[in-house]
Structure 1
Amino acid sequence: MKSATRRTVLAAAAAFAAAITAGAAQAKTQVMFYYPIQVGGPLTQVIDGYVAKFKAANPDIEVQPVYSGNYIDTTTKSLTAAKSGKPPTVAVLLATDIFTLIDEDVVQPIDDFAKTPEDKAWIAGFMPAFLKSAQVDGHLWAAPFQRSTAVLYYNKKAFAEAGLDPHKPPTTWDDMVKAGKAVLKKDDAGKTTRWGVGIPGNVGSAQWLFGALAAQNGARLMNDAGTEAYLTDPKVVEALQFWVDLSKVHGIHPPGIQEWGTTPADFLEQRIAMVWTTTGNLTNIGKNATFDFGLAPYPGKVSPASVLGGGNLYIFSGAPQAEKEAGFKFIKFLTSDETLADWAIQTGYVAPRDGAWEQPSLKAYVAKTPAAEVAKKQIAVSVPEFSTHENNRTTKALNDALAAALTGAKTPAQALADGQAEIDRILKPYKK
């Protein structure tokens, strides 16, 4: 009898202990974290490592990372989840999504959570150029994370073979055309086996890189308030004409639309000698290139210029308050100088804090890979990416216009005039 009683007591104790353990597990604050992968490399493993490190330091918080496709996929999934009442707590979304997210009333300003002097110092540590793209109406709506500028990758081996100085990348549009013609290769049948330059023009990248082309000609595509576009500015039209002419007139660019996703491979396989893409591809290209290559600032016509890009960390307003507070803590961890320095090394993205560049790990990486600092130096001449209210619709109108010109369906002037008319119609309700 005593034995049976003892077994009953032990079983009850075990059940109680299990209940306590289960209760403790359930008591953990959940943070659902959506993030995209837009560049090459096994980056899901890197994110998993960051999450594990954060969990070790914060055992009361359970972060659930969800790889959600590319940026467009991640934005769509985040908005869908928010509308269904089950939003992510934190998501990495494009900086250009800011107007859409605010208009949809699904995100909460970061400064709602930044209440301590330490929090204020953390905000002050971001580079002003990147903070600007996260600020609207006096609020900070996101924290800069995987930021980038677009840069020129060039094949030094191809330059040397063509009699060009491999240490002198082009600095003007004319220089780029001349270099492109010099490195062009054809087989005995006259088929091009190596193009001079490739600028991705598919949906999702065209508007970004075209922003750089316009800036190089002294123009902007939109105003800071996101209420107007300037596609019919003669300087903007001239920039698109130059892009079209790289193929139609100069013969140094692949015909039609160069795809963003294939551009790194086209460069690595030496099918294109110069490519325009993100600094976020540096680590992938650096690990896989079988030839010596260089990274350079973009050329210009009026003056050299590039465009800022990449993603910020947003907190979704519909998440429970405790989750949002935990999410803010996770955001601060991801954007610490130490983590951003490592993320820059692992990906090639530009660390958006000056303090990250002072970390011994990133200093050592830059010393070994000087190209990594090209993007940082280019920030001073980089403009914001195209972003307006109703951004998905206006960006589609711009991309449609660019595609029409690049494929020869319309002249650059007509394509941009049509795009401007559509954007004017879309943005009419937002003009004061």
Structure 2
Amino acid sequence: VMFSIDIYELIEQGAILAFDDVVETPEEKTWLDSFYPTLMENGRTAGKTWGIPFQRSTIVMYYNKDAFKAAGLDPDKPPETWEQLVTVGKKLTKADGSQWGVMIPSTGYPYWMFGALTMQNDQVLMNDAGNETYFDSPAVIEALQFWRDLGSKHKIMPSGTIEWGTLRQNFLEGKTAIMWHSTGNLTIVKKKAKFDFGVAMLPASKRRGTPTGGGNFYIFKKTSSSERKAAMRLIRFMTSPERSAEWSMKTGYMGVSQAAYDTSKLKEYVKGFPYAAVARDQLKYATAELATYQTGRVRKALDDAIQAALTGTKTPEAALKEAQALSERLLKQYR
């Protein structure tokens, strides 16, 4: 299992096999189409399937219902738009700095969080061939300006960068009333939160939106025929409805197929804990996670632009135009 966004680099290195060239029976070929289509966007390119979804997620909004009540807000009405997020965030932010309205992490995987904001502003970050990016699109620049404004203008989020690794603990300790984070945190939050909490889809600007995320199964070329068959047996076992349902319940990651949510165990779990279905339901608004050829360098260019804008060393427009120029130099050879 490796990141779903590694697909283009693995293909370019000649490291992996397309599953289309490994499956043998009609039933196995049908299996390739049994997963949620949105999760397959990071696993398919050039008409072939290279990755099978396993540990997959979308970004969701966790919020402290007790903090909402204390601020005079309806705990069952999380913000559904950017405008509402700002309004609610101001009511939740305490003047002494003990509680922020919202925190969106900007280290670790800033490009991932940013992909949510740009999709909400109705703009994807790249094409589906992995050879073109749109970092300097007006809607992308506007999205980064909004992210920056949450801290510098609206004062509902700390200015500068927010650490991915400590954000969950900040939420559990009440230092922020809202956090955007992976659904992979859901089970831990459920177990450790000492307050009533909610989970909701991310708010909309022009539309709702989030990238998918997480890991895929790959089969490497340097394998024997028997190893490939063994790998297929393992992958099919791990992505079977029963195992996928179990993995979802124990971690918070999504079941990767509708069949997983049709199992009696996951049906019962979702009935008792509806937040377990939020990430899955959000798939209708989701897009692929940023993945291109030269993905490490392209992603770093965007990450650097995001952090430069959030820390105030560059304007969002200048930072993103610089990132786009670098991306263009890297990707033009693949067109």
Contact 2:46 2:129 in 1 (8 A): no
Distance 1:231 1:142 in 2: 26
Structure of higher CA gyration radius? 1
Aligned partner of 1:375 in structure 2 is 279
Higher relative contact order (CA 8 A, sep 6+): 2
1:249-283 CA distance string (max 9 Å, x none): 01111221111111111110110110001111100
SS of corresponding position for 1:194: coil
Aligned partner of 2:70 in structure 1 is 161
Aligned partner of 2:95 in structure 1 is 186
Runs (5+) with no aligned partner, structure 1: 1-91
> How many residues are paired up?
335
1:139, distance to aligned residue in structure 2 (A): 1.2
Aligned partner of 1:236 in structure 2 is 140
Distance 2:180 2:263 in 1: 28
Aligned partner of 1:176 in structure 2 is 85
1:407, distance to aligned residue in structure 2 (A): 1.1
1:364, distance to aligned residue in structure 2 (A): 1.2
Distance 2:79 2:41 in 1: 30
Aligned partner of 1:144 in structure 2 is 53
Q: Residue 324 of structure 1 is aligned with which of 210, 217, 228?
A: 228
1:172, distance to aligned residue in structure 2 (A): 0.6
Q: What amino acid is the match of 1:200?
A: P
SS of corresponding position for 1:149: strand
State the 4+ residue runs in structure 1 displaced beyond 6 angstroms: none
Is 2:10 the counterpart of 1:129?
Answer: no
Give % identity. Answer: 46
- Aligned ranges for residues 103-114 of structure 1 at < 5 Å? 103-114=12-23
SS of corresponding position for 1:316: coil
Distance 1:242 1:347 in 2: 31
Contact 2:103 2:179 in 1 (8 A): yes
1:75-121 CA distance string (max 9 Å, x none): xxxxxxxxxxxxxxxxx111111101100111111122211122123
1:427, distance to aligned residue in structure 2 (A): 0.7
SS of corresponding position for 2:79: coil
Distance 1:304 1:122 in 2: 30
Q: What amino acid is the match of 1:343?
A: W
Contact 2:4 2:213 in 1 (8 A): yes
- The root-mean-square deviation of aligned C-alpha atoms, in Å, is 1.0
Distance 2:123 2:50 in 1: 27
- Aligned ranges for residues 13-412 of structure 1 at < 5 Å? 92-187=1-96, 192-203=97-108, 205-412=109-316
1:396, distance to aligned residue in structure 2 (A): 0.6
Q: What amino acid is the match of 2:318?
A: Q
SS of corresponding position for 2:99: strand
Normalised by the length of structure 2, the TM-score is: 0.98
Per mean C-alpha deviation after superposition, the further-off stretch among 206-215 and 301-310 is 301-310
Distance 1:384 1:243 in 2: 20
Distance 2:82 2:247 in 1: 32
1:272-306 CA distance string (max 9 Å, x none): 11000111110010000000000001111111211
1:124, distance to aligned residue in structure 2 (A): 2.3
Distance 1:104 1:272 in 2: 43
1:13-36 CA distance string (max 9 Å, x none): xxxxxxxxxxxxxxxxxxxxxxxx
1:144, distance to aligned residue in structure 2 (A): 0.8
1:196-254 CA distance string (max 9 Å, x none): 11111114x11011011001111111111111111111110000000001000011112
1:58-90 CA distance string (max 9 Å, x none): xxxxxxxxxxxxxxxxxxxxxxxxxxxxxxxxx
